[in-house]
Amino acid sequence: MATYVLVHGAFHGGWCWRPLVDILAKRGHRVFAPTLTGLAERSHLLDERVNLSTHIADVANLIRFEDLSGVVLVGHSYAGFVISGVAEEVGDRIGSIVFLDAFVPGNGKAMVDYWPPELKKEWDEAVAEAGGLVRKPLPASFFKLPPADTAWVDAKCTPHPYATMNEKLTLTGARERIAKKAYIIAENFPSKNFRMFYERAKADPGWRTYGLPTGHEVMIESAESLAGILEEVA
């Protein structure tokens, strides 16, 4: 039996892991899928203080207060920043760290540092239109999700606090000291950043790499295959 902590990306909540949680739980694993502050069922907690550090604390404190160890820590998309920060806080409790079509940030980097100028401008304008605190959700179709699932995802996604994208992350190498590291790329979602992180991991003997023929929402589109990979890297 393994212990999994699954961390969602921008606009989402713990709900997006439900298909995967059900599979892993049926196989006897212990699974946690927390919702980050200010999103989904915790959207009522959103204010100007919610930033990347808040989200790192959400997950690190879950691991501490549940007395978890040997954790398989999985981060999707934006949550690559979150789990990298969590490794700095509770790295001794993490047995495997998995980046699921996710950012693998460098020291001193913020999410916006990986965006081209035109994307940064588009986000700034969208956030200003929404009142300066959040970006309204992107449509599920943007993430190449099959039409059968888009209505469900669009109904669940909530605005994301923009401060999380602008806070720079301080890293000291705790992520690299975790014994097992893996990168899983969504092969049907075009992203220069995710391809770059995947290729870097592939070239590093300390990492295992995988590809799945899905859009960005891997845990929804291909939960069964993803569960198999996560069991392998545990």
Given 43, 77, 191, 222, the catalytic residue: 77
Q: Is 77 a catalytic residue?
A: yes
Q: Residue 170 CB: number of other CB atoms within 10 A?
A: 11
What is the rounded CA–CA span in Å between residue 147 and residue 62?
A: 34
161 near 46, Cβ under 8 Å?
yes
What is the rounded CA–CA span in Å between residue 157 and residue 153?
A: 6
Listed residue (35, 182, 52) closest to 104, CA to CA: 182
Computed on alpha carbons and rounded to an integer, the radius of gyration of the chain in Å comes to 16
Kindly report the CA angle at 116 between 14 and 37, in degrees rounded to 5? 20
99 near 195, Cβ under 8 Å?
no
Amino acid present at 59: V
Across the strands, what pairs with 186? 212
| Residues designated as active site | 77
